[in-house]
Amino acid sequence: MTTSASGITGLHWDHFRNGKTAKSSGSDVFELISPASGEKIASVVSGTAEDVDLAVTNAHEAFIQWSQLTSYDREKIIRKATTYVRTQADRIGMLMAMEQGKPFAQSRSEILGSCDTLDYFAAEGVRIEGTVNSTEKNTFRSWVIYQPVGVCGVITPWNYPVSLLSWKLGPALATGCTMVVKPTMVTPLSPTSFCMALAEGGIPPGVINVVNGRGSIVGDALVRHPLVKKVAMTGSTETGKKIMQSAAVSLKKISLELGGQCPAIICADANIDNAAQVVAYKGFRNDGQSCSSVNRVYVHREVHDEFVAKLRSIAEGMTIGDGVEQASVDLGPMCTKQGLKTAIEHVEDALRRGAKLITGGSAPEGKAFEKGNYYRPTILDNATDEMLVMQDETFAPIVPVQVFDSIDDAVHRANNTRYGLVSYLFTTNLKTAMELSGRLEAGTVSVNCSAVNTNYAPYAGWKDSGYGLELSRKAVFEYLNTKHVKIELV
Ligand code: NAP
């Protein structure tokens, strides 16, 4: 495996169906452009509703056998497949670095983490328990069991193209479901390649199928297909609402992980070194292109100057570059030109409304950065509520900071959003941590730490941030139908 882009550019990518690559029924093809250089990386077929139908039919046929295996057998097959995929982490990680802009070391680590997620769910599959009920008559017997829903439509975004796929593949595979995956057109190579590697590693043909193409065509056809019994999607709130409407026609099960606008409250008693480290990590990593990014900081007046100085020092120490050539830089280019444009517009809006630029606010200087979507980690002080950076999901390496005097005011401002994904809190006082974690309106409250996504705990968006949940053993039930069996012993 070469670590240079040149070895794997210029490829043509098809769909993946029934264990083999498959041509599209249409002739539409889209080009993938490198976020680092602006050059073409690959061409990918853009599928049709007919391609979706063929893939769903394959998945439907594969369901009969896959769902009949015991969960112990499925666990063995999944673990064998992930063992193989780990040997492919360099290759798939490089595809992600090329298409997404995420530095190779982080991309590779995303592939390995995704294998861990599949293993976690494989183990959960054997722990699914039903119940036996007490009954109103001695001659009755009553029990509740769980059965796989069937074919799942899996629709994923570009910011964590494989990780967010594994959050859905994991419970789907473990419970005996089969699936058709529609990766985003922005980063189709690494998720398609991950699915193909799972099949090469032993997941039977037809269990995982991939149809590449436009959300409005392939995604929509998948959501509406009558044989698709569940849709799992991560993406923007606007797309999620559209999918919910389309899925309602046939009352499919759905889970949606959507946008965020995550606040961080830094109390006067916080460990400021730690707060600055966590905010830098969650604000700048992956260029802030994460649903759980810290989008706005409320810091107590007493510790404001110290916090801003420390955050600035970390931001200015971050290395930026083409993560395909320089595997271990902190930040690569932003994934899309549109994302970069939004970042620039949001910073301009904030400055126009009186924000103070502490650092960043532009691309790094030098020839190496001229063609790519590069943007420096940016801190805006004196942020006010009406600024776009304080309201919208900027999805860029930008951290706006606002001072507070009263904790009640900070909590009110933190909650004053249509989103409810993650809220961050920094305090060394246990009582404050307990009280405020109860009052913050979010599916996850992260106190003094950045590791908000763990296999063992549910990740659920409140308000406009989602519907249903992912991760943890609870996610398994998103892929199962409940059945009550009642018998009278006559
Ligand atoms: P997006 O534009 O909403 O797209 C998400 C997926 O939906 C893509 O595969 C897209 O396909 C597809 N799609 C678009 N229209 C569709 C339709 N009518 N029917 C079915 N599928 C359709 O989101 P994105 O820009 O890729 O991702 C960024 C967003 O994801 C951000 O808002 C971020 O907060 C959110 N996100 C949330 C979480 C979470 O766990 N809560 C995690 C990560 C990201 P095409 O793009 O190929 O057309």
> Which residues does ligand 1 sit against, CB inside 6 Å?
155-160, 164, 182, 184-185, 214-216, 219-220, 223, 233-236, 239, 242-243, 257-260, 291, 393, 421, 461, 465-466
Protein residue with its CA nearest to atom 13 in ligand 1: 215
Active-site residue, from 257, 393, 470, 478: 257
Question: Residues 330, 318: contact at Cβ < 8 Å?
Answer: yes
Residue 392 dihedral angles phi and psi, to the nearest 5°:
-90, 165
Question: Annotated catalytic, 129?
Answer: no
Enumerate residue ranges in the chain where pLDDT < 70: 1-10
Question: Residues 445, 426: contact at Cβ < 8 Å?
Answer: no
Domains belonging to the chain, first-starting first, are: 12-258+465-485 (3.40.605.10), 262-455 (3.40.309.10)
Cα(179)–Cα(18) distance, integer angstroms: 11
Query: Tens digits of per-residue pLDDT, 416-435?
Result: 999 999 999 999 999 999 99
Cα(486)–Cα(254) distance, integer angstroms: 28
Question: Residues 297, 459: contact at Cβ < 8 Å?
Answer: no
The per-residue pLDDT for 361 is 98
Question: Annotated catalytic, 435?
Answer: no
Question: Residues 408, 421: contact at Cβ < 8 Å?
Answer: no
Q: Which of 169, 183, 196 is nearest to 115 (CA)?
A: 169
Protein residue with its CA nearest to atom 9 in ligand 1: 184
Query: Tens digits of per-residue pLDDT, 275-333?
Result: 999 999 999 999 999 999 999 999 999 999 999 999 999 999 999 999 999 999 999 99
The per-residue pLDDT for 5 is 37
The per-residue pLDDT for 364 is 97
